[in-house]
Amino acid sequence: MKTRSWLVIPVVVCLLGAACQSARTQSSPQPQVIAVPQDEMTKPPGTQPAGPAQGNTAPVMQAPPADPGTGPKKLSYNSCNVEGPYIALTFDDGPHATLTPKLLDMLKERGIKATFFVIGQNVVANPQILQRAVAEGHEIGNHSWNHQAFTKAGTTGVTMQVTQTNDAIENAIGKKPVILRPPYGATNASITKRLNEEYGLKVIMWDVDPLDWKYRNSEKVKSEILKNTKAGSIVLAHDIHATTVNAMPETIDALIAKGFKFVTVSELIAMDRPAPAPQASPASVTKTP
Ligand code: NI
């Protein structure tokens, strides 16, 4: 696969909280853009949500990671280039004792499949929720043990974060995950390579981020997702925030009305195909830095 890596330098933009617009401007037929994944990275000190993902280190800006996802064997994805209106909704930081089941109810009502990037210690606390999610067709991915940034964890720390969570997931649902989203999206080429080679994990970023952890506003969550989602998108959200979960019925119904179809991340990756040359779609060419 011929995919070009476009390093984006959104640090200042991220600091301003309007993070990483560049990642949103890409459309699916374009090259992968490895932007600084913001997740909660831009969260100012003291605004960590009360909840199971506590234990986070202070938010730290990461330099844009080198893109280890290019080349014949992709190790990471921000989005996919697919034929057809397929997207993957992803929910991080759970499972949450009450909000995740509520979200599962909404997804079940609509026959929608999603992907949950879970925190290991939350899995141990709520294994039955994970079992339900899998029984209803959703995919489970690793999102670390306690949301420590891998780039700050050291080799031993990363090993602990990955293996304890993999084990917790396997104990709950009988199999290890094949995908991982690093907390804050913080990774680098060597960590990503190691995750793949040692654990068989693909690193999953995102191209649509409603900054739901920041705004805590259901209307904003909905409008941002609807504005930015394209075929092949990987949509980031968090099922530990009531405002996010409450936004989902209208958001999903609107996405359905737009014709989108929902698959798990692994299903989306399986549909990924080589991107055409960047100039092939002039109407949607991204302005490069
Ligand atoms: Ni997270």
pLDDT in tens, 252-282: 999 999 999 999 999 999 999 987 766 655 5
Of 56-65, 75-84, 176-185, 207-216, the range with the lowest mean pLDDT is 56-65
Mean pLDDT value across residues 53-76:
52
Distance in Å, CA 288 to ligand 1 centroid? 28
Q: How far is the CA of 188 from the centre of ligand 1 (A)?
A: 17
Catalytic residue positions, numbered: 92, 238
User: How many whole angstroms from 183 Cα to the centroid of ligand 1?
Assistant: 5
Which amino acid belongs to residue 184? Y
Span 84-111, average pLDDT: 98
Over range 92-96, report the average pLDDT.
Answer: 98
Residue 105: per-residue pLDDT: 98
Rounded distance from Cα 283 to ligand 1 centre (Å): 34
Q: What global pTM score does this model have?
A: 0.75
Specify the pLDDT at position 4. 44
> What distance in angstroms lies between residue 162's CA and the mean position of ligand 1's atoms?
14
Ligand 1 mean position, distance from CA 40 (Å): 7
**Quick one: DSSP state of residue 23?**
H
Given this model, what pLDDT does residue 245 score?
Answer: 98
C-alpha 276 – ligand 1 centre gap (Å): 32
Mean pLDDT over each residue of the chain, to the nearest integer: 81
Asked whether 279 and 25 are in contact (CB, 8 A), the reply is no
Interatomic CA distance for residues 204 and 207, integer angstroms: 10
3-class SS shares of the chain: helix, strand, coil, % to 5? 40, 10, 45
Q: 10 or 255: which carries more pLDDT confidence?
A: 255
On the CB side of 107, CA atoms within 13 Å amount to 29
Task: Give residue 185's pLDDT band: very low, low, confident or very high (50, 70, 90).
Answer: very high
Q: What is the pLDDT of residues 98-149, one digit of tens each?
A: 999 999 999 999 999 999 999 999 999 999 999 999 999 999 999 999 999 9
Q: Which residues have C-beta within 8 Å of that of residue 35, sequence separation ≥ 6?
A: 8, 10, 20, 22, 23, 64, 78, 205
Gap between the Cα atoms of 128 and 192, Å rounded: 30
